[in-house]
Structure 1
């Protein structure tokens, strides 16, 4: 199993598996042209591609959208973020999926209204990725100017490859974890979903 490989081999395996999702590799390449500060393609489109490949499904099956996070603390206005979103809409024109771009420097301004718990300002895109409801989600990939893949995986890759979903009670409330895991189990019944800590 890939989750038992040495870490450097897991990284090679991750790139090989993710490259089977041509929508994802296209989104990575197009996002690189936007030159966003601290950007990553992150969350479901990554680990769900792995789950699809490992369970024999089409690589894009069940993926709702492709999340692009960036971090620009120089202007926290909605207008500045919306300018980036509109530029992205042009860059991603023709991609057969929804691509959602968000400035993670602004998350604290709207998070409590949406999720019911306050969120301290993030200090980086990586800090935002750290706050996902499951450690399995804490994964980001970007293309560096030299073509290398930069992979951010603060909890490693073993759970992703082993189809394990582990709660991450850092920020998101339990209701978010429960809702996400319910949907994921319906799509990928092979998952082992660990309970939220009591």
Structure 2
């Protein structure tokens, strides 16, 4: 029902839904104290909270971790990022969930080694969010110093509320999208998973032996 609301009402609905996940609101509040440049809480903890509420599950059900992205292009060393990660461990101590902090200015240094495709350097946290494997994942929220919520949703919110998983073939390989979508479908069977664009891959015939 939320997916058919006007955009301003969808934003109000998003905040209403996300605040039902007390772990998420705690992560937002604690991240704000770290004063990270260009930070967002992003990815699964957001859209999966929505899926849980829409399908009648506990808001935090099945959410294994909470992702915090920030952007610091002034120091690309691992040591600088690690110092932020260690500060985060203190800030998030006692939370019943894992919080992963990542400097998106450094992603291009390790992405190809992990995923097998080259990642151009990100220019901002928003640019990093733009390159998630599914457009449904392209969502970020942060608390501004005045307490307002800043929401970044370049593909809108209708798919998130309507339980639609749509591919975003700008960076992540097809197999990453399909593996994630299959895992999500297993946990939220109400999802509609849209296929990767283009022809289906040729699959080798199974051996009878």
Tell me the distance in 1 between the aligned counterparts of 2:58 and 2:16.
Answer: 15
Matched length = 198
* Cα distance in structure 1, aligned partners of 2:58 and 2:142: 23
Partner of 1:164: 164
Q: Residue 127 of structure 2 corresponds to which residue in structure 1?
A: 127
Report the equivalent of 1:114. Answer: 114
Matches within 5 A, 1:18-29: 18-29=18-29
Measure the CA separation in 2 of the matches of 1:175 and 1:97.
27
Which segments of 5 or more consecutive residues in structure 1 lack a partner in the other structure?
none
Q: Which runs of 4+ in 1 moved over 4 A?
A: none
SS at match of 2:110: helix
Look up the match of 1:179.
Answer: 179
Partner of 2:41: 41
| TM-fit CA distance, 1:62 | 1.0
RMSD: 0.3
Aligned-pair CA distance for 1:59 = 0.6
Counterpart Cα distance in 1 of 2:195 and 2:66: 26
State the match for 2:10 in structure 1: 10
Scaled by the length of structure 2, the TM-score of the pair is 0.94
Secondary structure at the counterpart of residue 142 of structure 1: strand
C-alpha deviation, 1:64, in angstroms: 1.6
Q: Distance in 2 between matches of 1:179 and 1:186?
A: 11
SS at match of 1:90: helix
Counterparts of 2:137 and 2:179, CA distance in 1: 14
SS at match of 1:195: coil
User: Which structure has the greater CA radius of gyration?
Assistant: 2
Q: Normalised by the size of structure 1, how large is the TM-score?
A: 1.00
CA distance in 2, matches of 1:170, 1:93: 36
* Structure 2: segments with no counterpart, 5+ residues: 199-209
Deviation at 1:69, TM superposition (A): 0.0
